[in-house]
């Protein structure tokens, strides 16, 4: 299987290690909504989203992001930790963003498909703002390296985040 392993030096795929960033507050085995931590464990790759107006479909199984697409991160929402569309009364993240963070999003099965409310919404692999700038809990890479990851993985590959890993933001 083509797994991704988070190491102290970056995200390892096969024989390459790519610089990446993680959650602002490091890694945890007790994830909860809003803690800005990346959860440890083995997280299966369950999907891929892309902006068709910005990049070509990276894999045949990638799904286009449309202007009204969102991801719910509101524990009061019956569709918590699921993709949906606007309008909605609940707090959410827009997937169709003016910046380039979500031009390509690799979805993991963190707290999905049967979300435990408050355990933390989606953990994505996406583009970073810049090297060294942490995420809210996701794993992020440069545009070019994110495209390499998208081509490397298969549906069902895993993102492995060791519990004892001490990662410094790069």
**Number of folded domains in the chain?**
1
The first and second tokens of residue 47, run together, are 């999907």
Which CATH number fits the domain that encloses residue 37?
Answer: 2.40.440
Q: What is the pLDDT of residues 55-71, one digit of tens each?
A: 999 999 999 999 999 99
Q: What is the pLDDT of residue 7?
A: 95
Closest by CA to 21, choosing from 137, 132, 161, 153, is: 132
In a domain, 69, yes or no: yes
In a domain, 166, yes or no: no
In a domain, 167, yes or no: no
Element containing residue 146 per DSSP (H, E): helix 143-152
Q: What is the pLDDT of residue 82?
A: 96
Q: What is the pLDDT of residue 169?
A: 43
Q: What is the pLDDT of residue 165?
A: 75
In a domain, 170, yes or no: no
In a domain, 39, yes or no: yes
In a domain, 143, yes or no: yes
> How many CB atoms lie under 10 A from the CB of residue 25?
13
Please state, in angstroms and rounded to a whole number, the distance separating the CA atoms of residues 9 and 166: 10
Determine phi and psi for 124, rounding to 5 degrees. -100, 160
In a domain, 169, yes or no: no
Residues 6 or more apart whose Cβ sits within 8 Å of residue 144: none
Q: What is the pLDDT of residue 166?
A: 64
Closest by CA to 6, choosing from 169, 166, 160, 109, is: 160
In a domain, 168, yes or no: no
Sequential pLDDT tens for the chain (170 residues): 799 999 999 999 999 999 999 999 999 999 999 999 999 999 999 999 999 999 999 999 999 999 999 999 999 999 999 999 999 999 999 999 999 999 999 999 999 999 999 999 999 999 999 989 999 999 999 999 999 999 999 999 999 999 887 655 44
Q: What is the DSSP letter of 5?
A: E
- Provide the domain limits for residue 127: 4-161
């Amino acid at each position: 299987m083509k797994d991704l392993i988070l190491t102290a030096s970056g995200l390892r795929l096969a024989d390459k290690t790519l610089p990446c960033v993680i959650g602002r507050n490091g890694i945890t085995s007790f994830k909860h909504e809003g803690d800005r931590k990346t959860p440890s464990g083995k997280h299966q790759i369950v999907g891929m989203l892309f902006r068709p107006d910005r990049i070509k479909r990276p894999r045949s199984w990638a799904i286009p992001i449309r202007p009204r697409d969102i991801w719910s991160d509101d524990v009061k929402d019956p569709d918590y930790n699921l993709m949906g569309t606007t309008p909605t009364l609940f707090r959410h993240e827009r997937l169709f963003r003016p910046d380039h963070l979500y031009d390509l999003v690799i979805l993991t099965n963190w707290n999905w498909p049967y979300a435990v409310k408050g355990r933390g919404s989606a953990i994505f692999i996406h583009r970073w703002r810049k090297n060294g700038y942490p995420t809210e809990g996701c794993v992020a890479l440069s545009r070019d390296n994110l495209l390499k990851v998208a081509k490397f993985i298969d549906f069902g590959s895993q993102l492995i985040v060791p519990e004892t890993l001490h990662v410094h933001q790069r």
